[in-house]
């Protein structure tokens, strides 16, 4: 158990809809990362927060947004969903912003129909 909790585990929704994925980082970790993993693909970095502030942005679509709250949990919002958004979405956390291992949750599997 990595200590990172993601909810829900599975999500099935229709095109055009909006969903929110939630992540609770490991106790004491200040940095939260969001990744997307499509079937049999590698990890695509979306966005990173450190202690409530956005620190780095990757290949995140404008339809997607995220935030980290004062209690350090984070939410990833996906809107105007398309079939191609179906993927595993992982959250990871680390103590620092740089040069420390990321610890991943078990992901949210999003299916857009």
Partner 1 sequence: GESVGLHLPTLSVQEGDNSIINCAYSNSASDYFIWYKQESGKGPQFIIDIRSNMDKRQGQRVTVLLNKTVKHLSLQIAATQPGDSAVYFCAENIGNYQLIWGAGTKLIIKP
Residues in the chain: 113
The CB density around residue 16, as the number of other CB atoms within 10 Å, is: 10
Tell me the number of residues near partner 1 by CB under 8 A. Answer: 22
C-alpha span between 16 and 23 (Å, rounded): 23
Q: Quick one: which segment of 15-23, 49-57, 64-72, 79-87 binds partner 1 (CB under 8 A)? A: 49-57
Nearest CA-CA partner of 62 in 79, 38, 37, 39: 79
The least CB distance from residue 16 to partner 1, in Å, is: 28
12 versus 18: smaller Cβ distance to partner 1: 12
Q: How far is the CB of 65 from partner 1 (least distance, A)?
A: 18
CB of 53 to partner 1, least distance (A): 11
Q: How many CB atoms lie within 10 A of CB 113?
A: 10
DSSP 8-class letter at 9: S
Q: Does 61 bind partner 1 (CB under 8 A)?
A: no
Which residues are at the interface with partner 1 (CB under 8 A)?
Answer: 2, 4, 42-43, 45, 48, 50, 55-56, 58, 90, 92, 97-99, 101-107
């Amino acid at each position: 158990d990595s200590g990172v909790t993601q909810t829900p585990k599975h999500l099935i929704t229709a095109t055009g809809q909006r969903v929110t994925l939630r992540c609770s980082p490991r106790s004491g970790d200040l940095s939260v990362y969001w990744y997307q993993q499509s079937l049999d693909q590698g990890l695509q970095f979306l966005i990173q927060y450190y202690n409530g502030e956005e620190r780095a942005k990757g290949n995140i679509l404008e339809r997607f947004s995220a935030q980290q709250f004062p209690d350090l949990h984070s939410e990833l919002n996906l809107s105007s969903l398309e079939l191609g958004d179906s993927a595993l979405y992982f959250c990871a956390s680390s103590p620092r912003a740089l040069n420390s291992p990321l610890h991943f949750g078990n992901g949210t599997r999003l299916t857009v129909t």
